[in-house]
Amino acid sequence: MRRISSLSEFRHSQMKTETDWKNPSIRSEAIVTKIDFKKTKKNLFAPSSRDFSLVDVPEMQFLMIDGMGRPGTGQQYQQSLEVLYAVSYKIKFISKAALNKDYVVPPLQALWWADDMDTFVRREKDAWKWTVMIMQPDWITSNIYAEAKAAVETKKDLPAIPKLRLEILHEGLSVQILHIGSYDDEGPTIKKLHQQYLPENGLRENGKHHEIYLGDPRKTAPEKLKTILRQPVRRIA
């Protein structure tokens, strides 16, 4: 799946801004511990790659942008990712400077759906709809979000920024698995999840297909890329 090739460029561009960003006037003298949510929330970010597993996904807040059409090479998708990373890193810098709380910006995530969900198995990408998103710490307020968005908006021409929002997502009971391999090889696993695992375990879909991108396609061979595939579910009465 080519969508991550483009988003990876945005991700590393924004990561470079973190290294370059310096402002002595607001730098704290205290030692700040940088939180890595992939380590502190292992149940959400480190599922097995061998078997499907159930997880209770708590309420979390995300920066989100909706769109539709082919990801990766699409201009709408690329513009959305640029906004997500620019504002996410600005929020991180404000958090460190104003609250003395530093953290690793969480990985990119996306919700995917279509009028016919079999398009995911067939990889008919033009029919896909999506919400790209990055998790934000629970101490980030709407005021901090507004400050970061306004700061980015005054410095960059970002066509997708009016679409950006800060929203709570609570998926609850979900099934997930770690997919190792090319994004275009996800189809059989998704098919097995929906057509075999869910009915055999008395479960039904209760939300949108969710992916969390842990791999870096610029540095990792396609067969070694890591993506969490997650599906919110409910038990059939």
Residue 22 is assigned to a structural domain of this protein: no
Residue 113 is assigned to a structural domain of this protein: yes
Residue 172 is assigned to a structural domain of this protein: yes
Residue 27 is assigned to a structural domain of this protein: no
- Cα R_g (the chain), whole angstroms: 18
Q: What is the pLDDT of residue 135?
A: 98
- Considering only CA atoms, which of 189, 168, 169 is closest in space to residue 179? 189
Query: What is the count of structural domains for the chain?
Result: 1
Q: What are phi and psi of 137, to 5 degrees?
A: -55, 155
Question: What CATH number did the domain enclosing 63 receive?
Answer: 3.20.80.10
AA letter at 203:
L
What does the pLDDT profile of the chain (237 residues) look like in tens digits?
A: 444 444 444 444 444 434 444 444 444 445 678 999 999 999 999 999 999 999 999 999 999 999 987 776 678 888 999 999 999 999 999 999 999 999 999 999 999 988 776 666 666 777 789 999 999 999 999 999 999 999 999 998 999 999 999 999 999 999 999 999 988 899 899 999 999 999 999 999 999 999 999 977 667 888 889 999 999 999 997
CA–CA distance, 115 with 41 (Å, rounded to integer): 33
Element (H, E) at 92: helix 75-99
Q: What is the pLDDT of residue 184?
A: 84
Q: Which residue range forms the structural domain that includes residue 196? A: 3-14+35-235
Residue 21 is assigned to a structural domain of this protein: no
Residue 19 is assigned to a structural domain of this protein: no
Residue 103 is assigned to a structural domain of this protein: yes
Q: What is the pLDDT of residue 4?
A: 40
Residue 20 is assigned to a structural domain of this protein: no
Give this prediction's pTM. Answer: 0.83
